[in-house]
């Protein structure tokens, strides 16, 4: 059987789950979490950025409408809008933002003329 990987799943593979887990542990981001993990929040927010969505409803509905199960993304199910809103309002996003910033700096070091140049060129257009 041929295994197919979605483009979004391939994008997520660029991020180190171990590094993400260390950042979450360092900032105690999941100390009061009850089922919705920081990784799930990161997946949802990355999906929001990639799909250029404008609202939490669009994020939740977009993830829920995926044909394949979401296990290949590292989450068990699409988050509810209220769950995602609560996670964003409680400051759990701080560790996610720090991790994203670290990944961006790492990408700029790896591909100094590639990613950063294309990103700044698209902002000026």
Q: How far apart are CA 61 and CA 3, in angstroms?
A: 25
Q: What is the pTM of this model?
A: 0.73
Over the chain, what is the mean pLDDT?
77
Residue 120 corresponds to which tokens in the numbers above? 């700044």
Q: What per-residue confidence (pLDDT) applies to 116?
A: 47
Both tokens of 63, joined, read: 């993830």
Q: Buried b vs exposed e over 73-104: b needs ≥16 C-beta within 10 Å?
A: bbbeebbeeebbeebeeeebbebbeebbeeee
Residue (of 57, 66, 60, 3) closest to 36 by Cα position:
60
Per-residue pLDDT of the chain (125 residues), as tens digits, is 445 567 888 888 888 888 888 888 887 878 777 778 888 888 898 888 888 999 999 999 999 888 677 888 888 888 999 988 888 887 666 666 677 677 767 767 766 665 444 444 445 54
Tokens 């961006």 -> residue:
104
CB of 19 closer than 8 Å to CB of 99 = yes
Q: Determine the Cα–Cα distance for residues 108 and 106; give it in Å rounded to an integer.
A: 5
């Amino acid at each position: 059987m041929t295994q197919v990987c979605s483009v979004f799943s391939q994008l997520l593979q660029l991020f180190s789950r171990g590094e993400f887990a260390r950042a979450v542990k360092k900032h105690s981001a999941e100390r009061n979490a009850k089922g919705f993990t920081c990784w799930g929040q990161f997946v949802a927010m990355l999906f929001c950025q990639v799909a250029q969505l404008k609202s939490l409803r669009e994020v939740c509905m977009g993830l829920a409408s995926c044909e394949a199960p979401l296990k290949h993304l590292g989450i068990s199910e699409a988050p509810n809008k209220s769950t995602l809103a609560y996670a964003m309002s409680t400051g759990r996003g701080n560790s996610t933002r720090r991790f994203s910033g670290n990944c961006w700096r790492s990408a700029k070091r790896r591909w100094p003329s590639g990613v950063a140049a294309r990103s700044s060129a698209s902002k000026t257009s």
